[in-house]
């Protein structure tokens, strides 16, 4: 039954996207080119509505059983409604932030999706207590916006989200979590149908409707899939979402260094940096797809690794992320502390021989 439902989600997304495209032009949900945008013409940006409607069709047909189903659907409805309004009227960051907190709170408070404590590998535990709920809300809102931040090139957010959903659903299958498997697969099938129209050269953008919805679903499902009390299970979703989390982290650092507001837009995100290095639009998207797939693979390996192996893997990933950030100028052209240190060590080693 699930396979038939997934096919229906995929086909529904393919059929609904052209209709949503017409609706976007009709109601003024369009994206006009400017100096910060890559596209050169007016584009419809309501595509996420096709993803959401396809997902809802699949959800109603398959009806995944679980105590979190209704809170997730209600929370996602608030997110999508906010996205639609933003795609039409361009809401302020404050209004969108409030809506995201409300949606997250529904899942966390009503749905009970929050981690209360974590068992440490060497004994003992970290108890979050009253911080459990706000920390989980911060996670959901943070990942929701992280996916939105990488939505800067044709097919980028949809592809990276699809890779994350493949990883989440694959690991949920391994863990025997039928609810997370079904929900992640339904969102995945709906997103892949839309990606046919969204890959370069895009015929429609997903807009905030899609980016916020995908970010919200991925944040909740990654938390549910590894809602366990070990440090390992807490780190796995962070690795899965390595690309958007890293891009968001360095965006925050960049804005602090440049003394700009955290909400200020710029053209120094991961995809902007790769484009400046001379990669084409399509090459840049495929490179970031490869990065996302690499993080997904590392998450699977990490989940199966022993303690020391897991810590070593995290160390390697952190060094790799920092090296890439410095090499492509993700913070600034002059920010290269690790590369400079490695050069000094290399020169010192050569001289001592």
Q: Which three-class secondary structure string do you get for the chain?
A: CHHHHHHHHHHHHHHHHHHHHHHHHHHCCEECCCCCCCCCCCEECCCHHHHHHHHHHHHHHHCCCCCCHHHHHHHHHHHHHHHHHHHHHCCCHHHHHHHHHHHHHHHHHHCCCCCCEEECCCCCEEECHHHHHHHHHHHHHHHHHHHHHCCCCCCHHHHHHHHHHHHHHHHHHHHCCHHHHHHHHHHHHHHHHHHHHHCCCCCCCCHHHHHHHHHHHHHHHHHHHCCCCEHHHHHHHHHHCHHHHHHHHHHHHHHHHCCCCCCCCCCCCHHHHHHHCCCCHHHHHHHHHHHHHHHHHHHHHHHHCCHHHHHHHHHHHHHHHHHHHHHHCCCCCCCCHHHHHHHHHHHHHHHHC
Inform me whether the pLDDT recorded for 97 exceeds 90: yes
What is the pLDDT at residue 168? 92
CB 271 within 8 A of CB 152: yes
Residues contributing to the annotated binding site for Mg(2+): 148, 208
What is the pLDDT at residue 213? 97
Residues contributing to the annotated binding site: 148, 208
Stretch 82-102: mean pLDDT, rounded? 94
Which among 226, 280, 273, 216 has a CA at the least distance from the CA of 250? 273
Residues 23 and 39: their CA atoms lie apart, in Å, by 20
The predicted-structure confidence for 181-214, as pLDDT tens digits, reads as follows: 999 999 999 999 999 999 988 999 999 999 999 9
What is the pLDDT at residue 258? 78
Which among 54, 55, 46 has a CA at the least distance from the CA of 21? 46
Inform me whether the pLDDT recorded for 229 exceeds 60: no
Residues 339 and 261: their CA atoms lie apart, in Å, by 28
Which among 240, 332, 224 has a CA at the least distance from the CA of 295? 240
Residues 121 and 105: their CA atoms lie apart, in Å, by 30
Residues 88 and 232: their CA atoms lie apart, in Å, by 42
The predicted-structure confidence for 121-178, as pLDDT tens digits, reads as follows: 655 667 778 888 998 999 999 999 989 888 888 999 999 999 999 999 998 898 888 9
Q: Model pTM?
A: 0.90
Pick from 51-65, 158-172, 217-231, 273-287: least confident: 217-231
What is the pLDDT at residue 311? 85
Distances (CA, A) of 84 to 23, 54, 143, 180, 317: 11, 16, 19, 26, 37
Which residues, 6 or more positions from 332, have their beta carbon under 8 angstroms from its beta carbon?
A: 254, 257, 258
The predicted-structure confidence for 291-336, as pLDDT tens digits, reads as follows: 999 999 998 888 887 778 888 999 999 999 999 999 998 888 888 8
Proportion of the chain above pLDDT 90, given as a percent: 54
Q: Kindly state the tokens that stand for 118.
A: 């974590």
What is the pLDDT at residue 144? 92
Tell me the sheet residues that pair with 44.
30
Pick from 15-19, 127-131, 167-171, 279-283: least confident: 127-131
Is omega for the bond preceding 201 within 30 degrees of 0, making it cis? yes
Which among 62, 56, 47 has a CA at the least distance from the CA of 14? 47
Please state the separation of Cα 207 from the chain's center in Å.
14
CB 219 within 8 A of CB 143: yes
Residues 218 and 145: their CA atoms lie apart, in Å, by 11
Pick from 35-49, 137-151, 193-207, 233-247: least confident: 35-49
What is the pLDDT at residue 37? 56
Tokens 């484009």 — which residue?
A: 275
């Amino acid at each position: 039954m699930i396979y038939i439902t997934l096919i229906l989600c995929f086909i529904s997304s393919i059929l609904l996207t052209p209709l949503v495209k017409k609706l976007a032009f009709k109601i003024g949900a369009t994206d006009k080119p400017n100096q910060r945008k890559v596209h050169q013409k007016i584009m419809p940006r309501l595509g996420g509505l096709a993803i959401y409607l396809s997902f809802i069709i699949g959800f109603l047909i398959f009806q995944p059983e679980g105590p979190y189903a209704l809170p997730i659907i209600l929370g996602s409805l608030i997110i999508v409604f906010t996205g639609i309004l933003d795609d039409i009227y361009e809401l302020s960051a404050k209004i969108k932030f409030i809506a995201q907190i409300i949606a997250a709170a529904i899942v966390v408070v009503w749905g009970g999706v929050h981690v209360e404590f974590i068992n440490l590998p060497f004994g003992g535990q970290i108890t979050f207590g009253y911080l459990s709920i706000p920390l989980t809300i911060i996670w959901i809102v943070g990942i929701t916006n992280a996916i939105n931040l990488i939505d800067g090139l044709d097919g980028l957010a949809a592809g990276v989200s699809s890779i994350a959903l493949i990883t989440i659903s694959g690991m949920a299958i391994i863990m025997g979590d039928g609810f997370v498997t079904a929900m992640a697969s339904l969102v995945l099938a709906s997103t892949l149908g839309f990606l046919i129209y969204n890959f370069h050269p895009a015929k429609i953008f997903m807009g905030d409707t899609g980016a916020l919805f995908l970010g919200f679903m991925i944040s909740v499902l990654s938390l549910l899939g590894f809602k366990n009390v070990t440090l390992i299970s807490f780190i796995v979703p962070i690795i899965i979402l390595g690309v958007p989390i890293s891009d968001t982290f360095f965006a925050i650092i960049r804005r602090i260094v440049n003394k700009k507001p955290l909400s200020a837009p710029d053209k120094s995100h991961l995809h902007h940096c790769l484009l400046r290095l001379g990669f084409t639009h399509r090459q840049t998207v495929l490179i970031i797809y490869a990065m996302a797939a690499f993080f997904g693979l590392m998450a699977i390996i990490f989940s199966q690794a022993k303690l020391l192996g897991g810590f070593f893997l995290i160390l390697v990933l952190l060094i790799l992320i920092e090296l890439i950030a410095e090499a492509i100028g993700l913070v600034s052209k002059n920010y290269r502390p690790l590369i400079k240190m490695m050069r000094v060590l290399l020169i010192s080693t050569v001289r001592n021989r």
